Amino acid sequence: MAAPHLELVNVSKQYADTPAVRGVNLGVNEGAYVCILGPSGCGKSTLLRMVAGHETVSDGDIVLAGQNITTLNPAQRGTAMMFQSYALFPHLSVRDNVAFPLRMRGVDQADRLTQADDMLERVQLGSLSNRFPAQLSGGQQQRVALARAMITTPRVLLLDEPLSALDPFLRVQIRSELRQLQRDLGITFVHVTHSQDEALALADQVVVMNDGEIQQSSTAFDVFNKPRSEFVAKFIGGHNVLSLGDRRVSIRSDRMSISRQARDGLFATVVDIEFQGASVLVKSQLDDDVDAVVVQLSDERFFDQPLVVGESVCLMWREEDAHTLAA
């Protein structure tokens, strides 16, 4: 088996007495799209900045394409980083913003502008090359920042919550373009996000972090369908975590059903109903549980026999849909 293109070996980051990242081990294949996902303060952005060289490593090693880059400065690493704030130069045109990294490397003006124009065409901004950042929409500024990060043809492109500043509609559009661009370029992308939907839609490999540690690293399919722990099941969403005798299991909310007549299942009381267009979320409360159990029904199935808040129901599922949690 080939060695990972990017490998983090027992990487830690300590701020005084506060650990931000704790002994992380992670391998990333060349050409993969990886999303690091987790709640605020879990260490995901700190981890990304250590790979970029913008944070020092307290312990451990970072290896890229067989080279230990742990102590190299950012320009020597073969990585490029796209910041959440975009960090565009307001006094430079779009073309000059994109060409700036090549200018810092001493590339002559004609060559760097030609490369900048080519990269702007790739992100569909060729017609706006003479504008300034203040004359662009948020989505356009994001594309400029992306083009600037990619112009040095890095071995790994690092993206720190690149879509968080966009409105929901534009976020979905841009994430699709991001994925297509990554496929076209074949560059390894490591993308930090707090959005579960974003990670599942984009990533070949989803890395779920909490409290400075990796809770699970796997395909998007496995993270969603086979969460390793209660934390992953609840954070990734769409799951109910239940105690069944001596088992702790997660069950997808769309794999559960509700009956008024059944006598074999879990009895609960409907506490809330949310219409979501194509589906309806029915939240119910078990007598002995603090957390509500959510069942996702198709709109057709729900409105065939609508439930009401306060109604007593029986929750059911197939045994094969109950995934036993390993931790």
User: Mind listing the pLDDT tens digit for each residue in 69-111?
Assistant: 999 999 899 999 988 778 899 999 999 999 999 998 899 999 9
pLDDT in the model for residue 86 = 80
Tell me the average pLDDT of the chain: 92
Q: CA geometry: angle at 151 spanning 146 and 155, to 5°?
A: 90
pLDDT in the model for residue 61 = 98
Q: What is the pTM of this model?
A: 0.90
Residue 13 to residue 22: CA distance in whole angstroms? 7
Place of tokens 């920042």: 145
Residue 150 to residue 101: CA distance in whole angstroms? 10
pLDDT in the model for residue 175 = 86
pLDDT in the model for residue 259 = 92
What residue type is assigned to position 244 of the chain?
L
Low-confidence ranges of the chain (pLDDT < 50): none
pLDDT in the model for residue 1 = 63
User: What domains, with CATH codes, occur in the chain?
Assistant: 6-225 (3.40.50.300), 241-324 (2.40.50.140)
Residue 13 to residue 30: CA distance in whole angstroms? 25
pLDDT in the model for residue 10 = 98
